[in-house]
Amino acid sequence: MALSEPYAIAYEDVSTVTNVILCIDTDAGITGVGCAAPGPLVTGETAAAVQQHYHQVIEPLLRGADPLRRAAVRSQLKAVLPPAPSTLAMVDMALMDLMGKRAGLPVYQILGGYRERIVTSVTIGILPEADTVRRALHFTSQGFRALKIKGGRSVDEDIARVAKVREAAGPAIDIRFDANEGFSETDALKFAAAAADAGVSIIEQPTSRRDSGLMARLTRSSRVPIMADESLITIKDAIALAGDDAADMINIKLMKVGGITPAVHLMGLAAALGMNVMVGCMDEAAIGIAAGLHVALSHPIVRYADLDGHLDLIGDPSGSALTLSDGYLYPSRRPGFGWTP
């Protein structure tokens, strides 16, 4: 799918994305749907690799299996697949969708049903200052309450962009910032000081995932909460981040962690460790975003959602899987994730 608005982040420019959608039919007449949004720089996969995993492993293993034995299927897949988080997420989602449809319930109710809607941020890529402000005002005029500004290529330009957006958008808009590992320690400290003055609520992954000590120093010194994104893939990563006090909160993306099952485990761990959670996303079709939304709605530890990866996709077949209104995302009231092709 092409993006109606291509964007830039610290380490890449994005104009098209490829998703892989999996449909699992059952002899009961129910179809479960999952989605993979592979990204070589984040998940370590390509779309071709996902399709290869499907043909060589997933289809032979799942054909004739009991779709309600989700834990058994997942265990068998993990034993034979190489590291492939979005592939696992795709299967996990499809099986969870089947379970919801079999039970006649939306997935978020099965997972806990803590809330029925959540505010999502909308992302502004790296743009010149004036264009950043124009995009911000465009989004707020549409009812968005939270903006996520991408940066990490020039700290001085990032500081100016955030300040101008705050000035233009006013005090009521939640401004979040994501450097995608782009800052040095000096730049990160400089930006954190300015971001506090501008009322930024989160600084996401300011520095390299490979230097947890640097993240810990920033977390201790910053007046703005520091969120780990690229630094978090596994439960071991979350434990290490908490043990080193290297982040105040974590960003859980289904594609990155391997699906709903590990996302639920991470939410429980975050609650035990006293860390807040944001449920985020890749550039995903609406069915993938819907799965993240159902996870975000299920648990009180989720404080933020950044579930906008479907908004600019041209030709997304699954747009009816969720609803956006006045800055809030609402799930479908239909069983499962609410969409069948």
Instruction: Enumerate the active-site residues.
Output: 150, 178, 204, 229, 253
d(CA 211, CA 217): 10
Using the 8-state DSSP alphabet, how is residue 300 labeled?
T
C-alpha angle with apex 224: 222 to 228, nearest 5 degrees? 90
Residues 6+ apart with CB under 8 A from 51: 20
* CB distance 98 to 68 below 8 Å: yes
Strands (E), 170-236: 174-178, 200-204, 226-228
Pairing label, strands 328-331, 118-119: antiparallel
d(CA 107, CA 300): 16
Residues 6+ apart with CB under 8 A from 303: 249, 276, 277, 278
Q: Which tokens go with 18?
A: 């490829």
Query: Of 303, 321, 301, 325, nearest to 313 (Cα)?
Result: 321
- Residue 130, phi-psi category: left (phi > 0), alpha (psi -120 to 50), beta (remainder): alpha
Q: Which tokens go with 291?
A: 């799965």
